[in-house]
Amino acid sequence: MRSMIHGIGMTSQRTRDRLVERLRSAGITDPAVLEVIGSTPRHLFVDEALASRAYEETALPIGHGQTISQPYTVARMSELVLGGTVPEKVLEVGTGSGYQSAVLARLVSKVYSVERIGALLDQARQRLRLLGLRNVRLAHSDGSWGWPEMAPFDAIVVTAGSADIPEALLTQLALGGRLVMPVGTHDAQRLVVVTRREKVYEREDLDRVSFVPLRNGAS
Ligand code: SAH
């Protein structure tokens, strides 16, 4: 583990430090998020052949037509999930590589993450275990339905885009809880934050983004 983290060249601590500096200049301010990204070995979440590109500001393929989001997006979503607080229970829809789950696991008490593609979930589980992150629970299912048995959540983060926000997710938010999700299709997609208040859901439309689509069913 140690030798992998402190490996040579493009996967070294120096490379991660440079990434943190870039994120800071790009406007990420939450010190906890920057610290965690600076110490999470992102190269372990992509195929070995892509490891040398793991710290570039780009999304990378993770197989099955899916991608690991670019570092800025992971940082930004993590910052929005926290919203200056420390949420206890967070649900992630779209485990993918497991990188966003790993980052969240070090920022909140308990992470629940669901993925519809079984093969990706198995790989993510191995990576999280290798890093000793025991506060992540994973499930193989269609995350549009959330994880009702574990609700309510202080925050929900959806890492795949859709024209509409799944109703089930909104109902699984705790009072004061926030949902962070790419909403809209293709060129018109934005990160949206929805906060559950006593009588209403407050919605804020933020940065333009481009995510892989949220799909139905599990495979
Ligand atoms: N958070 C991931 C990003 C992966 S891309 C990471 O850090 O790597 C989005 C993921 O959402 C893909 O793995 C895709 O299979 C998954 N996904 C899409 N629709 C889904 C759904 N309805 N339920 C669960 N996962 C879904």
Asked whether the bond before 152 is cis by omega within 30 degrees of 0, the reply is yes
Give, for all 219 residues of the chain, the pLDDT tens digit.
444 544 456 678 999 999 999 999 999 999 999 999 999 999 999 999 999 999 999 999 999 999 999 999 999 999 999 998 999 999 999 999 999 999 999 999 999 999 999 999 999 999 999 999 999 999 999 999 999 999 999 999 999 999 999 999 999 999 999 999 999 987 899 999 999 999 999 999 999 999 999 999 988
- What are the distances in angstroms from CA 85 to CA 79, 155, 170? 10, 11, 19
Ligand 1 centroid–CA 160 distance in Å is 6
pTM of the prediction? 0.95
Hunting for tokens 């490379």 — which residue is that? 15
Ligand 1 centroid–CA 142 distance in Å is 10
Q: Tell me which of 3, 12, 69, 144 is the catalytic residue.
A: 69
- For residue 100, the ligand 1 atom closest to its alpha carbon is 7
Q: Whose CA is nearest to atom 13 of ligand 1?
A: 96
d(CA 111, CA 89): 6
